[in-house]
Each structure stands twice: as C-alpha cells, then as structure tokens.
Amino acid sequence: MSRTEVVRLSGEAPAEPPPLRRRRRVPEAASPERPERHFKGVAVSPGIAIGPAFAAQQPALSIVRREINDYEREDELHRFDEAVAASKKQLTKLKSRIALLPPDAERELEPLLDAYVQMLGPSRLVRGVRKRVEAGLNAEGAVADETEALAAAMAEAPGDAPSRKRRTEEVREIGARLARNLAKAPFRSFAHVPAGGVLLAETLTPADAALLDPARIAGVAAGEGGSEGHTAIMLRSLGIPTVLGVEEISTLARPGDHAVIDGNAGTVTLNPSPERLAAARQALAAYAREKQRLAKLARLAAVTKDGEPVELQANLELPIELPLVAQAGAQGIGLLRSEFLFMNRDDVPDEDAQYDAYCEIVEAMGGDPVTIRVLDWGGEKQIDSLTAAGFEAEAGANPALGLRGIRVLLRQPEIFETQLGAILRAAARGPVKILLPMVTTPSEVRAAREALERVARRLRRRGASIPDPLPPLGAMIETPGAALAADALALEADFFAIGTNDLAMYALAVDRAHAVVAPLYDPLHPAVLRLIQFATEAALRLRMPVSVCGEIAGDPRFTPLLLGLGLRTLSMGAANIPRVKQAVRALEIDAAARLARRVMEQSDPARITELVEGFGREG
C-alpha cells in the first residue's frame, strides 16, 4: 500500500467563481444559440424564480493522505488544533452575521451552528481525528477518514432516513470546514451573483445557504441534496425557491443563460421558450398571491366551512424544529419521537438530561400539549449508545417483527423507567401525554401503566413535583393487531395515535424503506383504510381522543377522507400545517363523511385514489 494518496473531498469549494461580465443584455427566452434545456430535480422550497443564471462551480479539494512518523505527530496535532480553532472562529463570525437574516432563518440556523461548534468541542469527531493522528496518519487524512467513518455510522444509525441524512450532512460539513482550514483554502463567496439572479451550484451547505440574501437571490438549484436536509430547511425558511438533485447543473449552464426555477414542480429550465417563460411569469404572480393567503392562515382557526373544529398538531424529532412549529400555528405536538435524544452520542442520557430536553420542548409549547412517545428502539432502528451500555434489542430474523418499541421497554425497565421519570417531572411544567410505540396487546398498556405508577410513587417519595392525576397514557395504533383489537385496547389506553406509516407497512407486508417494493406501499389500500376506520370508531364509541400522526396526516389530499372517517386531530410535519388547514377550511363535514362512505364501499385502490383526488371537484 502506498504511503501517500490523494483523496477528493466532496463539498469543498476553495475556488472563487469568476464574476459574470455584463456585456450585451441577453434575451431571457431561448434563441437558436441558446436552446431551451429542461431538468427535473427534487422540489425543496416552493415558489418560482426567473433570472440570469450564475454558476458557482466547486472544484473538489484534493487532500493528501499520508502516513507520518513519530517526529511529525506533535506538529500534525498542533495543525489540527489550529484548524479546529479557526473553524470555531469562523462559525462564531457566521453566527454574528445571521442576526441580519430574517428571524425565521436566524432561528433555524442558530441551533445548527451551535451543533457545529459542539462537534468541534470534546466530541467523537475530534477524539477520533486525534486518535488517527496518534496512530500515524497526517491531519488531513485523519479528518477525511474520521468524517467518513462517522458519516457512514450515521447513515446506518436508527431514525428515519431524512434525519439520518441530515446528520450525515452535518458531519461532512464540519469535516469539509476542517479540511479547508488545514489547507488554508479560501472560502467560496456568492457576492458575484447578480441581483435577481439564480444561483446554480453543485453542492450547497447549510452555512452557504445562510449567506444567501433572499432580497438578491431569486432562486437556487444544486446538484446534490434532498428535501429534508438542513440546506433545504434553510432555503425554505429564507423563502428562496429551490430545486436540488439536478446533477451537474452548474456545469451545464453557460454565462449569459437565463433560468427558471419551479420550486413546486422541482424543475429547472435554462433559456426557457417564450411559452414557458410566459407560463412561469403567470405562476410567479399566482404563487405570490397563494403565499400571502397561506401566511394569513397561521392566525386563522382550523375549522371546517360548517364550523367543525379540527386540531392540527406537529410531529417533532429535534428541538431545532421548534421555531417552525410555532410559525405554523400548531396546536401542540402530537408526536415527539424521543429517539433523537439517544442518538449520536456515546452514552445513554440519564433522567436529568432527558428531563432538560423535554422541559425545553414543553416550555416552548407554552401550554399546548406535548405528546412524548417513549423510545421506539428495535427492529431496523439500532441505537449505538444503548447497545454500548449493554442493553439489548435482539433483532431476530425479521427485525420489524422482533423486539421493538414497547416490547423492548418492558424487558429493559431501566431504560423505560428512567425515561418515564424524566417525562413525569417535565409534565409538571406543562401538559404532557405519554405515547407507547408498537403496542399489540392490552396487557402491554397495562404493564406500562404499572411502570408509570411505580415511577410516580418513587418520584413522590423523592419529593419531586409531578402532576396529579398522572399524564394520559396512549397507544400507537401502528400494527394490524392493534387496529383490530382497538376496542380491547381502548379499555386500557387513554388515547390512540394512529401511525399509518407502520400500519400500512405491516398491513401490506411492504417494507416502508424498501425502494423495490415501494409501488406496493399504498396508504389508500382498502386494508389500511379499514384498519384506520376500525380503530377510529373503537375510540369514538368510548369518546376517547384519537389522532393520526403518520405521513398521510400532512397530505391535504387525505384531509377530507380522514375527517370523513371521524378523525378530528391530525399531527404532521409543521411545514404541512398551512396547506392541511386550508383543506380543512375548504370542506364541509357532511361532504367529507359522504366521501368516506363511498371510499369505504370500494375495494379497488385505484378507484379509491380517484375518489379521494376528485373530492371537491365534482361540484
């Protein structure tokens, strides 16, 4: 093996792109020399942008990775420490600049920058790099290797795909910054993007996105990135129409090209035809009107045309999403996936650490309810800190059918009771509900309630302040077994939250994360709808609260059907709340109930889709 090799670190951008020279005014529409070119990407931030294209290309930074001898070790560690210090300084400077951004963007970025700074503290990344240098690798190689090792571990870590991707991006962003500082390479600047221009880049980090001025930059398209990354979140909160995932977009554009970004359809057009340009202008005006209407919605009630109130709550994974929750006008948190607390760390958070995290969320919600789902560990979700601490969630041959959620917690009382203790104490600070994942039998709810009461007794003996009565204890309805036994479960649980993501997976025997069988994953399959209906009716008969917190709750196409089935509480990603509210306010409950009756008579998923999508269009 050679002692020295050169690796390319993607996402690195030392080169400053040449300024676009303003010569003759180039026509906006296509011409024989500039034919129209149309690309499809991922729609990330809605809106339409029309303007001169500015390609900010990013040559990769070459990193020399080599073995070092004993005498070089101290120097390399010193260079690494300097790069860490420089990176911290840059992030602090960046933090002072974000005060100039719109408040939403500032709220979005600040915790992210704090997370970056934390990664530069006594973190796994810093420890890992030092270890690699001590083992005989130069600083650049150690940073590149440790970043990739951590990113790979995060890509495999438990949690949903978007949050895994986001964490992976964060590590890579810090790795790239360290590499840039080790090489003393200059930073990319977007200062040359012409006013009203469209920025085309191969990669765009969240920190890059923070530097974009929405008053100057009309739209963005980049080669890399998905809709749930921090870059996407940032661009959404800055309100810049964005399409990501258009490979090579920055090399495809020529100086003088014009671009249309359609952040709703996820398309980028270079040199649009006169017809496309005219359509884009119309869409731009229509979008501006729509945006104004949606912004006003945050202050309006979620109530149907005929006066039926509907509760729209938010799903939350990370406290970083709290500003979005407030901005969307959510009426509480319908699902707090507590797994985030246990991830990306070497140790298991103790009761106090969990208490602090829950308090932050409960207090931020200012009296609106927070539904904390206890740890959904197991199945394909592995949590390293728990495994390292000696806890077990034996996967078995079919992990999704093995130990997961409540099954693990009842076998590992130490994890369960620590979490319940933290939740009970946080419940003294505001209304909290406790939700159990992966329930299949009433005895699991009974056992969980016994544990809750045991923990409450212990806390009272300790003199801790906890609410009386204890918070409601609910069950996720996310397996066909739970849905079909909902009447029995309703006698044990205080509320239901229907998790249609897993419910559809288990009902249809289709892995929700498996691309090949993805076409079979259909929440409008009659089997799934019948399970939702059965569970909802079981709850309603007992006047027990029931909500839906799977992804369909955030899709306005499903709103009439869900309300028609009797549901009145929907919990979703905060960004979806305005559009779902719009759907709620546009419908009448009787019409929704008629739709649900017609849908439930059908057995053909295609016909069901037709009915659901045709709702409101039939007159």
Residue 354 contacts which entry, ligand PEP, Mg ion, none (Cβ below 5-8 A, type-dependent)? none
Residue 525 contacts which entry, Mg ion, ligand PEP, none (Cβ below 5-8 A, type-dependent)? none
Q: Is 559 in the site for ligand PEP (CB under 6 A)?
A: no
Q: Is 405 in the site for Mg ion (CB under 5 A)?
A: no
Closest by CA to 374, choosing from 326, 399, 342, is: 342
Stretch that binds ligand PEP, among 38-46, 88-96, 166-174, 494-502 (CB under 6 A): 494-502
Q: Are 339 and 158 in contact (CB under 8 A)?
A: yes
According to DSSP, the β-strands at 242-244 and 495-498 are: unpaired
Q: Is 523 in the site for ligand PEP (CB under 6 A)?
A: no
Name the strands in the sheet holding 217-222, side by side, starting at the edge strand that comes first in the sequence.
37-40, 267-270, 258-262, 48-56, 197-201, 217-222, 242-244, 42-45
CB atoms within 10 A of CB 398: 8
Cα–Cα distance measured from residue 494 to residue 490, given in angstroms and rounded to the nearest whole number: 7
Among 256, 474, 499, 578, binds ligand PEP (CB under 6 A): 499
Among 17, 256, 550, 578, binds ligand PEP (CB under 6 A): 550
CB atoms within 10 A of CB 419: 24
Which sign, positive or negative, has the C-alpha torsion 153, 157, 160, 166?
Answer: negative
Which member of 78, 258, 359, 549 is catalytic? 549
Question: Minimum Å distance from CB 521 to ligand PEP?
Answer: 12
Among 311, 478, 492, 555, binds Mg ion (CB under 5 A): 478
Tokens of 75: 């120097």
Stretch that binds ligand PEP, among 19-27, 164-172, 497-505, 580-588 (CB under 6 A): 497-505
Closest by CA to 54, choosing from 200, 196, 249, is: 200
Active site residue 359: no
Cis? peptide before 469, omega within 30° of 0 = yes
Q: Tell me phi and psi for residue 409, to 5 degrees.
A: -60, -40
Question: Minimum Å distance from CB 550 to ligand PEP?
Answer: 3
Residue 201's Cβ-side half-sphere holds a number of Cα atoms within 13 Å equal to 27
Q: Is 502 in the site for Mg ion (CB under 5 A)?
A: yes
Q: Is 158 in the site for ligand PEP (CB under 6 A)?
A: no
- Which residue do the tokens 């209906």 mark? 533
Cα–Cα distance measured from residue 77 to residue 572, given in angstroms and rounded to the nearest whole number: 46
Query: Reduced to 3 DSSP states, what percent helix, strand and coil does the chain have, rounded to the nearest 5?
Result: 50, 15, 35
Q: Is 337 in the site for ligand PEP (CB under 6 A)?
A: yes
Question: Minimum Å distance from CB 503 to ligand PEP?
Answer: 6
Stretch that binds ligand PEP, among 8-16, 345-353, 364-372, 496-504 (CB under 6 A): 496-504
Q: How far is CA 423 from CA 47, 318, 333, 356, 468, in A?
A: 40, 16, 14, 10, 14
Q: Is 478 in the site for ligand PEP (CB under 6 A)?
A: yes
Tokens of 433: 């509900």
Tokens of 328: 């969307």
Considering beta carbons, is residue 217 or 498 the nearer one to ligand PEP? 498
Residue 263 contacts which entry, ligand PEP, Mg ion, none (Cβ below 5-8 A, type-dependent)? none
Question: Minimum Å distance from CB 532 to ligand PEP?
Answer: 11
Site string for ligand PEP, 343-382 (x = CB under 6 A): ---------------------------------x------
Considering beta carbons, is residue 172 or 337 the nearer one to ligand PEP? 337
Considering beta carbons, is residue 317 or 492 the nearer one to ligand PEP? 317
Residue 500 contacts which entry, Mg ion, ligand PEP, none (Cβ below 5-8 A, type-dependent)? ligand PEP
Q: Is 549 in the site for ligand PEP (CB under 6 A)?
A: yes
Q: Are 569 and 334 in contact (CB under 8 A)?
A: yes
Q: Name the residues that contact Mg ion, by CB under 5 A.
A: 478, 499, 502
Looking at the annotation, which residues are catalytic?
A: 230, 549
Q: Name the residues that contact ligand PEP, by CB under 6 A.
A: 335, 337, 376, 478, 499-502, 549-550
